[in-house]
Structure 1
Amino acid sequence: MLRQSHGARKLAVLLASGASLAALSCGSAWAADAKAGTELTEVVVTANRSGAESLQNVAMAISAVSVEQITRSGQGNLSDLAKFTPSLSITEGAPGYNKFDMRGLSTGGYASSDTSDRSLVAVYLDDTPISLQGQTPDLKVYDLERVEILRGPQGTLYGAGSMAGTIRFVTAKPSTSSFFGSVEAGGATTEHGGESYSLRGMVNMPIIKDQLAIRATVYQGEDGGYIDNIGLRNKADANLNRTTQARVAARWTPTDKFTVDASYTFEQSHAYGLNSGLSGLGDYKVSTNSPEGTRDSFQMYSINFDYDLGFADLVSTSAYTWRRIGFNASPEPQIGYFFQDYTGLTPSANAYPLFKQPASYSQAVTNSIPPEKYMISNKVHDYMQEIRLVSKNDGPIKWTIGAFYEQQRRNLYQDIPTPGFDKLSYMNYFYGPFNTPDGKYNSKTVDGAFNPDDIFSGLQNQEEHQFAIFTDDTWHATKKLDVTVGLRWFSFSEKYYLFEGGVYGVIDHKPLELNAKQKSNGFNPRFNVSYHVNDDLMVYAEAAKGFRYGGANQPVPLGTTGVAGQCTQNLASYGYTAAPLTFGPDHLWSYSVGEKAKLAGGRVTLNADAYYVDWQDVQTRLLLNCSYFFTANKGAITSKGIELSSVVKLTDELTFSGSAAYNDAKANGDIPTVGAFDGDKTPYFPDWTATAAFFYDKPVGDGTLHLQASYQYRGKEQTTFDSSATTIKNGVLTRTGPSASFAVIPTSENVSASLAYDIGRYEVGVYANNITDGAKVTNIGRATYYKIYQAGDRLTYARPRTIGVRIKATF
């Protein structure tokens, strides 16, 4: 109760400060007798997918990010978007290995091997969904018109993966009227790390004047590493990342009523390490015995038709996406116990056991553990087709009706080769003789692994189909009152196959296999009322339902002895006789009210909204003590909060932009599957987020000087719901002591600044990001049963202080 009161007081102060700032700005503007030329530039968005309109007239919580401001500040990565909007959280472990959360709707971290973990925030490239939970491609923010961030459920127009919100990358389209282009080069150095560089280029070429044009862009860059690996990997700046990206787009306008946009997007990145270190080794240091990192190959082909039928526009979007995603980790401490002495034998370098368990952490002992090469490869094939009919906005009703189809095939290959494992850990001491030619243990022939020395091998193959019909209609009841009703009907089906082999994937030397099917369908409505008090003030209220599809579970072994016996007992304590093969959709209702205002003759915008979210049948992952897990629809979560954003034209040269959000998301009743008690705060989301930025643009000599400075605040957050370990006793969730995995991620404060000068066709600039190193630790993974072999917690680090230069030429 005291914490809530304190938060409410802070919020009241914040809102009062915002109101005071707006009032002062209004007074200044009136005193100055503002001219039209000093008004804020109108921001245009297409979030409603029914044509371009001013952001101030869109009756929803939405932010639009300026690509030019991002580029000048040297911040072009996907994770940088959270610095420009309230209520968005992006946790990134490596490029392309990320998790998006909005408005506190989160239940825990992301599991790289769980293909059924579904996204709560959808990411779109124009009209094509590209998000994959935990592995959304890190497309550099370049050659875009803008980035739109929609907060709250968007299921009517954007489907199942957008129950918390949607992010849209809106690309710049080819111009058929003129030839132009640009080239840009940049270099930077990172404290504690290496150098970075980037090269960008864009060219727009009309092929047939006013009818056909091509726009091509290319990016090549290297982000210098800042994590030093002191294990057998022994590499400085180990998390270096190289990226190549390209896009070719064509626009054909044979008549003024028909437009065709076709594009090909390519991205390939290779991170040679993860952005993580170990707390016991000092800042920005890690110890592994084999390489870590990520790979991402992304290709997308899309074609869009827009035909003016007179009474409406017919819009068709077709897209095919191919991706191959790789993830490598080297978590040797987790298997150290395999190779330690249990019964007083003499350790040897080439025979079991390798070492005696140390009394405390020993780097030499950890270096002697065979490298555990944890490897995951994902292949994704996705085809989508959407067609919609959008009416003109010249009648009492503005309507959109459409249909959507998507087919996705996903194949996950997982393997954990550990050189010497068969010989060093199973030399007929614990087991044998085995049914092999020499009677000795062999991972492949005994436990069905893909190869010898594989401690785990697995396959997960999915094929999903979804079909939806949707409509979104606005009735202009009066000149000031609009009423919107949206509805989406969906049908979803999935086929799922799983295989697990190796010592971690078998019971009594029998690999686990599973075939599962599931289907679901239903309706997803949205209701919105907006009232234009005058040309500069709009108020609105919305009730919207969000949903996401269910999925299939990995099997949990059953038995009376060993791991299977332990799993059986764990399941029984939670009321299960067996783990469910599938889990169903979850859903939420979100209720929000808001206002959008232009003040002081257009020199101030002040937008605010408040929301309440009721999330039911939540998909939660139950981690059993026997090391297996499954997902079930258990529990409820409520989230409530307030978001505020404002832009103020303080003078002709100086502009202020700021945002703040307060969120209170908690378990509504006990949720035993995630160890949450009634009132526990959701993990991986802070109570408070805030941003503030100043932009100064002034003619100097023959050019223009651009100065910007920004500050981002992100409050502390926790990694699990509760700080206690739990169990079920007599059907009641009960604390058993401190949790081994609970951690508090500290507050983050990021200060950045940039200075640029453009003259004619040229622009030069310098920038500095994370100047005070106030953004440092972004995630914490506790060591549990293996902590004697790991030097502390796994900490994910933000990029330290980075200073760079850039030069750009246009033609």
Structure 2
Amino acid sequence: MKKSQLSCAILAALASTPVLAQEESANAKIETIEVTATKRTESIQDVPVAVTALNGEALENRGIDSFQDYVEFLPNVTFQGTGPGQNEIYIRGAATTQSNIMLSSVQALQPSVAFYLDEQPVSMAGRNLDIYATDISRIEVLPGPQGTLFGASSQAGTVRMITNKPDHSGFSAGVDTNIGFTKGGEMSNAVEAFFNMTLTDKLAVRVAAYNDRQGGWIDNVLNDPGNGGYIGSAQVISRISGGVLSDPAAMDANRVNSDGVSSTDASVVSPKNDSLVEEDFNDAIYSGARVGLSYIFNDRWDLLIQHTQQTLDTEGVFSYDPNLEGESSTNRFQPEENKDEFGLTTWTLEGRLDKLDMVYTGGYLDREIDTLADYTGYTNGGLFSAYYVCNYDGGDTIAAEDERCLDPTKFYREDTTTTRSTHELRFNTTMNTPWQVTAGLFYDDQEVATIGQFKIPNTELYPDMERTLVGNEGINSDGGPFPSEVGFVNDITHTIEQIAVFGQFEYELTESLTASVGARWYQIDDEYKGSTTTVDVSRRVKAFGSQNPDELAAVGEDPEAVLAAIESGQLIVDDLDSDGVLTVDDTIFKFALDWKVNDDVLLFANYSEGFRPPVTNRVGGGLASSQTGRFENFRIPVYSTTDTLDNYELGMKGDFLDGILRVNATAYYSEITDLQTSRFDPTNISFLVFTDNVGDAEIKGIDADITWLATDDLVINAAFSVLDTELVRINEELQGISAGVGAELPYSADFSGNINARYFFEMEEGRRGYVNGSVSYTGDRIAGMTMDAYVVEDATQLIYGTGSGLEIQDEAAVYEGVTYSDRNGETFRGGRYVQESYFLANVAVGVTNDEWKAELYVDNVFDESAILNIDTQQFTPKVVTNRPRTVGVRVSYDFY
């Protein structure tokens, strides 16, 4: 069993190699794990694709149990997000800017890496299902496109968590406990348990349960405007609102700051968080259970049914404000809570016919997410910020001396319900012939229903006035007061229905040379419906699908201009029908050749394709709010088109020196066409997030992992990744906004690697001791696609009275002098934040006699504060970091 969440265990698997078999034997060799990466059970060393697998014992032996620690031991993998249950994984550098986590359910940009629990896909945009990894058999990670066998979200790779199934051989049980103490933070503790028993000769049951409380270490400190705290800035508010305030610089000179201006007299009022000040406020609690039943009908047919129920509760945030002193302090002005609960039922019926193995598998996922988040930072980036927080009503009647900007505190509340049902029927030939076939049918039905409520206006300003945004044209101030505190609502339901036919044919050209070809035909129907406070999304999407002039006029568009944009190819609507359903279908392929040089060495070459489906935009087809420069006549895409990844790779898998040295390595070259990206450019285009295709990219890289049994008692694992990513084409309207041609893709380091050593020694009375040490290195990474870091940094300086101190990589040179500019014509240098390199180290010492184990561990030995992610969704940078040095004890006992 492993004492961490699925996302952590998955990532550890990417950086690890298999454990040893017969570790105490004089003839010890490296264990070869059986995997199902090609939907057949095969030795990992015989599968002609890059794949990493780690069994449950190996995961436990890593000695790492915190979220952040797992993230750091990952060559070739990027894990970006803002905390438990709010993360995305990228593999081999195929990354771009994802949507704001708080809007991911609305935007629906699909992940590029697929997650599977056993046979069930559980991927979700922005919030992949974070399953706690307890009582698992193994983790399989397949980098590179896996679309022919695993479908749409397998563009850059697939991760599969394989659970322990009910065992018909008899009774077994076990319990694991863990307690840890974090420097400057709270205590953490966890307990896991499982039992397995046979109820009859044909029926077996297995139950696993867990509760893991991860104590916090981030402090919500008192907002002190005179010491790096949130002062607020009329200059920033006016800039992003179109320069509407008369003299914002004079207002900033009269704000609550270190000079002691009172809130009553100040022109700009700072937010307060006195009642929310708390140390170590970022707690996370995982609790849940899994029940499995296995029934054997006869020697040919068996049935497995499993149900997993889990609740993840988090409070606070997992990032610090770099403008404040220290690396564990933040200013938050609203409570932050996230409750993520799911129930997942899966079933698998397996049968063995004379010439075929048959598998029918399916699952049903029901997930509920309730989020409450501080949205105060929207004041620093929202298009109508002056309207929300200042006594500005859209006119020019207010005298400069009367202008004030009041408390900017805001919140966001989300209620998201996800259901997903899948069915797959596949067949594997078992004939003793030179050829083998895997073929199947797949059906997937997903629905994501989201209601998001935003408190964005300040109701203290004009209590007798209802002010409602009207498109991009300004303000309507007729009516009564705002209803409650909510000023904007998203009410969106997004459904995806997919059918696919897939297959793979393998033929032995000689005894040692095998060729294979795979293909997948798919059709995806995507329906995006609902509304926002300002947009009837359902009607808008249907209007662009039907191209009916009356419907286009009804949603506020000029029919002649829209039809002209469609005719010219500026707007693409070919895949959208009159009912508002976006339908795409295609066939993707995979070709492979593998040569078994001898019993110990395998060489292979692959070509494979992956894809992500298009994404519908809420305000698709609308004109940009700014109609100057490159934005003149620019229209928001109705939907982003499918982005594709073509991958070419050469690989080797080999065991050497009589099985004590294993080297697996893969070199690859990938081409991404029409790379999808999330865009939020409210001062130029739209106050709603949308998706677009940024352009094309190329990726070159080498992955390798090495396992060496140095002595009978010492095993050393090492892994590294070398990456070279480059944008090779940029859409014209993104020039000066996105990083340009020749720039690197975000989030992935040019070099990363790790080394793990484990030493065993004999003790009295049959006990064995061990020492485990790990060190990892992650190189510099770039944060995001948009080169707006200097703009954000300037806003930070004005809002807090100090900068972030974060490194910025200058990007303007790629445009030969073009600078980043806003709608007021104000220009800034183009740049992106740098997530700087770091080393992390862990050590553990333990004693075991194969029934019980006791271990003392130190995670993050040198107390390194790593930059895991620079989050700018609050329009000033927040740094997501790892857990400080943690010392703890793990104890486990197994009953047989």
**Candidates 784, 796, 809, aligned match of 2:880:** 796
Residue 770 (1) aligns with residue 770 (2): no
After superposition, residues 665-676 of structure 1 pair within 5 angstroms as 665-672=725-732, 673=734, 675-676=738-739
Residue 639 (1) aligns with residue 699 (2): yes
In the alignment, the residues of structure 2 paired with residue 723 and residue 55 of structure 1 have an alpha-carbon distance, to the nearest angstrom, of: 42
Q: TM-score, normalised by structure 2?
A: 0.76
**Candidates 410, 413, 420, aligned match of 1:372:** 410
- Change in Cα spacing, 1:341 to 1:409, as seen in structure 2 (3 Å) is closer
In the alignment, the residues of structure 2 paired with residue 654 and residue 41 of structure 1 have an alpha-carbon distance, to the nearest angstrom, of: 15
After superposition, residues 274-673 of structure 1 pair within 5 angstroms as 274-282=317-325, 283-335=327-379, 338-340=388-390, 353=404, 355=406, 369=407, 371-392=409-430, 394-417=432-455, 421=457, 423-427=459-463, 441-444=480-483, 452-501=484-533, 516-555=580-619, 567=625, 569=627, 573-574=630-631, 577-624=634-681, 625-626=683-684, 627-672=687-732, 673=734
In the alignment, the residues of structure 2 paired with residue 392 and residue 775 of structure 1 have an alpha-carbon distance, to the nearest angstrom, of: 53
Q: How far is the alpha carbon of 1:267 from its aligned partner?
A: 1.1
- Change in Cα spacing, 1:268 to 1:89, as seen in structure 2 (3 Å) is same
- Code of the aligned partner of 2:209: V
In the alignment, the residues of structure 2 paired with residue 261 and residue 84 of structure 1 have an alpha-carbon distance, to the nearest angstrom, of: 34
- The alignment partner of 2:625 has SS state of helix
Partner residue in 1 for 2:19: none
In the alignment, the residues of structure 1 paired with residue 39 and residue 74 of structure 2 have an alpha-carbon distance, to the nearest angstrom, of: 21
Partner residue in 2 for 1:7: none
- Change in Cα spacing, 1:576 to 1:495, as seen in structure 2 (3 Å) is farther
In the alignment, the residues of structure 2 paired with residue 549 and residue 334 of structure 1 have an alpha-carbon distance, to the nearest angstrom, of: 30
- Change in Cα spacing, 1:740 to 1:497, as seen in structure 2 (3 Å) is farther
- Code of the aligned partner of 1:612: Y
Is the Cα–Cα contact under 8 Å of residues 741 and 781 in structure 1 kept in the other structure?
A: no
In the alignment, the residues of structure 2 paired with residue 739 and residue 179 of structure 1 have an alpha-carbon distance, to the nearest angstrom, of: 67
- Change in Cα spacing, 1:80 to 1:141, as seen in structure 2 (3 Å) is farther
Q: How far is the alpha carbon of 1:499 from its aligned partner?
A: 1.1
- The alignment partner of 1:237 has SS state of coil
Partner residue in 2 for 1:790: none
Q: How far is the alpha carbon of 1:394 from its aligned partner?
A: 2.7
Q: How far is the alpha carbon of 1:634 from its aligned partner?
A: 4.3
After superposition, residues 151-162 of structure 1 pair within 5 angstroms as 151-162=143-154
**Candidates 248, 272, 277, aligned match of 1:234:** 277
Is the Cα–Cα contact under 8 Å of residues 620 and 638 in structure 2 kept in the other structure?
A: no
Q: How far is the alpha carbon of 1:82 from its aligned partner?
A: 4.5
Partner residue in 2 for 1:193: 185
Q: How far is the alpha carbon of 1:308 from its aligned partner?
A: 0.4
Is the Cα–Cα contact under 8 Å of residues 78 and 141 in structure 1 kept in the other structure?
A: no
Q: How far is the alpha carbon of 1:441 from its aligned partner?
A: 4.3
In the alignment, the residues of structure 2 paired with residue 417 and residue 503 of structure 1 have an alpha-carbon distance, to the nearest angstrom, of: 18
Partner residue in 1 for 2:758: 695
- The alignment partner of 1:192 has SS state of coil
The alignment's C-alpha RMSD in Å is 3.1
Q: How far is the alpha carbon of 1:324 from its aligned partner?
A: 1.0
- Change in Cα spacing, 1:733 to 1:568, as seen in structure 2 (3 Å) is farther
Is the Cα–Cα contact under 8 Å of residues 293 and 327 in structure 1 kept in the other structure?
A: yes
In structure 1, stretches of 5+ residues that fail to align are 1-33, 356-368, 445-451, 560-565, 788-792
In the alignment, the residues of structure 2 paired with residue 110 and residue 555 of structure 1 have an alpha-carbon distance, to the nearest angstrom, of: 15
In the alignment, the residues of structure 1 paired with residue 301 and residue 178 of structure 2 have an alpha-carbon distance, to the nearest angstrom, of: 40
Q: Normalized per residue, which structure has more strand?
A: 1
After superposition, residues 78-117 of structure 1 pair within 5 angstroms as 82-83=71-72, 85-112=74-101, 113-114=103-104, 115-117=107-109
- Change in Cα spacing, 1:413 to 1:264, as seen in structure 2 (3 Å) is same
**Candidates 774, 780, 786, aligned match of 1:710:** 774
Is the Cα–Cα contact under 8 Å of residues 353 and 424 in structure 1 kept in the other structure?
A: no
In the alignment, the residues of structure 2 paired with residue 466 and residue 603 of structure 1 have an alpha-carbon distance, to the nearest angstrom, of: 46
In the alignment, the residues of structure 2 paired with residue 267 and residue 519 of structure 1 have an alpha-carbon distance, to the nearest angstrom, of: 34
1:68-88 CA deviation, whole Å, 9 max, x = no partner?
343345534666654555311
Is the Cα–Cα contact under 8 Å of residues 769 and 801 in structure 1 kept in the other structure?
A: yes
- Change in Cα spacing, 1:93 to 1:258, as seen in structure 2 (3 Å) is same
Partner residue in 1 for 2:213: 222
After superposition, residues 159-198 of structure 1 pair within 5 angstroms as 159-198=151-190
Is the Cα–Cα contact under 8 Å of residues 451 and 492 in structure 2 kept in the other structure?
A: yes
- Code of the aligned partner of 2:879: L
In the alignment, the residues of structure 1 paired with residue 493 and residue 362 of structure 2 have an alpha-carbon distance, to the nearest angstrom, of: 24
- Change in Cα spacing, 1:264 to 1:243, as seen in structure 2 (3 Å) is same
In the alignment, the residues of structure 2 paired with residue 35 and residue 241 of structure 1 have an alpha-carbon distance, to the nearest angstrom, of: 42
- Change in Cα spacing, 1:200 to 1:746, as seen in structure 2 (3 Å) is same
- Change in Cα spacing, 1:733 to 1:475, as seen in structure 2 (3 Å) is farther
- Code of the aligned partner of 1:42: T
Q: How far is the alpha carbon of 1:579 from its aligned partner?
A: 2.1
Partner residue in 2 for 1:56: 45
Q: How far is the alpha carbon of 1:723 from its aligned partner?
A: 4.4
- The alignment partner of 1:156 has SS state of helix
Identity over aligned pairs, percent: 24
- Code of the aligned partner of 1:661: S
- Change in Cα spacing, 1:589 to 1:423, as seen in structure 2 (3 Å) is closer
Q: How far is the alpha carbon of 1:126 from its aligned partner?
A: 0.7
Q: How far is the alpha carbon of 1:65 from its aligned partner?
A: 2.5
Q: How far is the alpha carbon of 1:289 from its aligned partner?
A: 1.5
Q: How far is the alpha carbon of 1:718 from its aligned partner?
A: 1.0
- Change in Cα spacing, 1:680 to 1:179, as seen in structure 2 (3 Å) is same
Aligned residues: 728
Is the Cα–Cα contact under 8 Å of residues 556 and 628 in structure 1 kept in the other structure?
A: no
In the alignment, the residues of structure 1 paired with residue 848 and residue 133 of structure 2 have an alpha-carbon distance, to the nearest angstrom, of: 21
In the alignment, the residues of structure 1 paired with residue 529 and residue 46 of structure 2 have an alpha-carbon distance, to the nearest angstrom, of: 47
- The alignment partner of 1:424 has SS state of coil
In the alignment, the residues of structure 1 paired with residue 873 and residue 587 of structure 2 have an alpha-carbon distance, to the nearest angstrom, of: 43
- Change in Cα spacing, 1:392 to 1:77, as seen in structure 2 (3 Å) is farther
1:501-543 CA deviation, whole Å, 9 max, x = no partner?
17999x9xx9999983200001010001000111111111000
1:182-205 CA deviation, whole Å, 9 max, x = no partner?
012111111121011101000001
- Change in Cα spacing, 1:741 to 1:782, as seen in structure 2 (3 Å) is farther
Partner residue in 2 for 1:4: none
User: Could you tell which deviates more after superposition, 125-134 or 230-239?
Assistant: 230-239
Q: How far is the alpha carbon of 1:583 from its aligned partner?
A: 2.4
Q: How far is the alpha carbon of 1:623 from its aligned partner?
A: 3.0
Is the Cα–Cα contact under 8 Å of residues 79 and 92 in structure 1 kept in the other structure?
A: no
Q: How far is the alpha carbon of 1:621 from its aligned partner?
A: 3.1
- Code of the aligned partner of 2:513: L
Q: How far is the alpha carbon of 1:381 from its aligned partner?
A: 0.6
- Code of the aligned partner of 1:220: N
